[in-house]
A = this chain, B = another copy of it.
Amino acid sequence: MKRAVVLLSGGLDSVTALAIAKEQGFECYTLSFDYGQRHDAEINAAKKLSVQLGALDHKIINIDLRTIGGSALTDNTIDVPEDHPDGIPVTYVPARNTVFLSIALAWAEVLAAEAIFVGVNAVDYSGYPDCRPEFIAAFEQLANLATKAGVEGQKLTVHAPLMTLSKADIIQRGIELGIDYSQTVSCYQADDDGYACGRCDSCHFRRQGFEMAGIVDPTLYQSN
């Protein structure tokens, strides 16, 4: 059976990517990162969702990107913004998707997996450069040069099935696939129980997505 490594943050997008990989007939191996982000709620969500969606294994890699810093998500001296200015916001984590995909590539090689799935999206995103189709294409090209498997002719494909979907489209697709989005955590500053702030960029796009999809937003918001 064909295998895929699926990057799973525990947020709305990545769980939808996982459900799509499963629908496409892949045996799924989920990969999450404890990289020093502001809360553990999303990792806890990733653990639960991996089991619910039948992943064969779930690994959590510790890599403390606070050593590098440079983002509101990995440097506590930089506040998470609650407005939505133009340009790439301070929640951008330098080279994060490159780092995560590289480690997914390592695991894919060990598993002899033929695919990596990642829930990046170029439509209702925050302007992150590593969420664009040209980035994914360049990573796929690199991946096939980087490994022993690649040299030996085993082709790896990087799937970004949400790339051209709006947040509303993603939600509609996930509902069709039976996802319970109340279990996902998208907020940049969720509390330990996974309750969302309702104010950061990520909450903003998520809430708007449910509105546009005409679906009741199941997100658990903090009461303050």
Contacts and interface: CB of A to CB of B under 8 A. Distances in A.
Interface of A: 59, 61-65, 67-70, 88, 92-99, 101-103, 105-107, 109-110, 129-130, 132, 134-135, 138-139, 141-143, 145-148, 150-151
Contact of A70 (B63, B99, B106, B135): B106
5 contacts: A61-B63, A63-B103, A88-B151, A95-B109, A130-B145
A68 B132 contact: no
| Copies of the protein in its oligomer | 2
The SS class assigned to the A binding surface is helix
Nearest to A149: B94
Given A61-B63, A98-B105, A102-B99, A129 B147 contact: yes
B64 A64 contact: no
B148 A97 contact: no
Contacts of A141: 138, 141-142
Contacts of A61: 63-64, 67-68
A150 B107 CA distance: 27
Nearest to A99: B102
B139 A142 contact: yes
7 closest residue pairs by CB, A with B: A95-B106, A70-B110, A94-B109, A94-B106, A138-B142, A98-B102, A99-B102
A94 B62 contact: no
Which of A93, A135, A146, A147 has most B Cβ within 10 Å?
Answer: A146
Nearest to A107: B68
**Residue from A62, A65, A94 having most chain B Cβ neighbours under 10 A:** A94
A220 B150 CA distance: 37
Given A110-B69, A138-B141, A95 B88 contact: no
